[in-house]
Amino acid sequence: MEHLFFDGFGDLGRTLLSALILYVAVILFIRISGKRSTSQMNNFDWVVTVAMGSLMASGILLKDITILESASAIAVLLLMQWLLTFTMVRSAMVAKVVRAEPTLLYHDDRFLTNAMRRERVSEYEVLSAVRENGVVDLANVESVILEANAALSVLEKTDKKVQKPALQDVHSLDPGALS
């Protein structure tokens, strides 16, 4: 209990120096790995981000984890993420296995309750997304989609004939929902 607030300048100095070095290393690694590392996240991006934070904290606070060990682990995580996304862009099969599909939650004036239940999204959350998009009447909403990054997209109805529908890759539990 005697070292609860201060354990000497040596440990404090190590912590401060470790934090500075790992902060710079993470910024460099993210710049090298590209924008995707900090963009809207899918499940795998989120896992890498959380793990990276944990590894950084370990390197800063734990005496038996060196800065080089922590930085190396972070670099390997970002490299694996880069390799996975590189492969996903070039292989539809890998992308299908790894990437979550968007899911249709509301379409043609009705909530798709089975899809909402499966995705654990409430009617309140769908209505909130509609309001956030400035729509005041559900009669003006064509569809609400739960995207792969967990964002809710709201598509308003249009009188125009759609040539390339934005819903073409959206998963729906109701095969007739788009007909």
Q: What is the per-residue pLDDT for 45?
A: 74
Domain identity same for 144 and 78 = no
**Domain edge (last residue) among 52, 82, 97:** 97
Q: What is the per-residue pLDDT for 35?
A: 60
Domain identity same for 174 and 132 = yes
Q: What is the per-residue pLDDT for 179?
A: 41
Q: What is the per-residue pLDDT for 173?
A: 45
Containing domain of residue 158, as a range?
A: 103-178
Q: What is the per-residue pLDDT for 154?
A: 95
The parts of the chain modelled with pLDDT lower than 70 are 1-4, 6, 34-43, 162-169, 171-179
52-61: Cβ within 8 A, 24+ apart: 52/26, 52/77, 52/78, 56/22, 56/23, 56/26, 59/18, 59/22, 60/15, 60/18, 60/19, 60/22, 61/15, 61/18
For the chain, what is the domain count? 2
User: Do the domain assignments include residue 4?
Assistant: no
Domain identity same for 63 and 119 = no
User: Do the domain assignments include residue 3?
Assistant: no
Domain identity same for 91 and 143 = no
User: Do the domain assignments include residue 111?
Assistant: yes
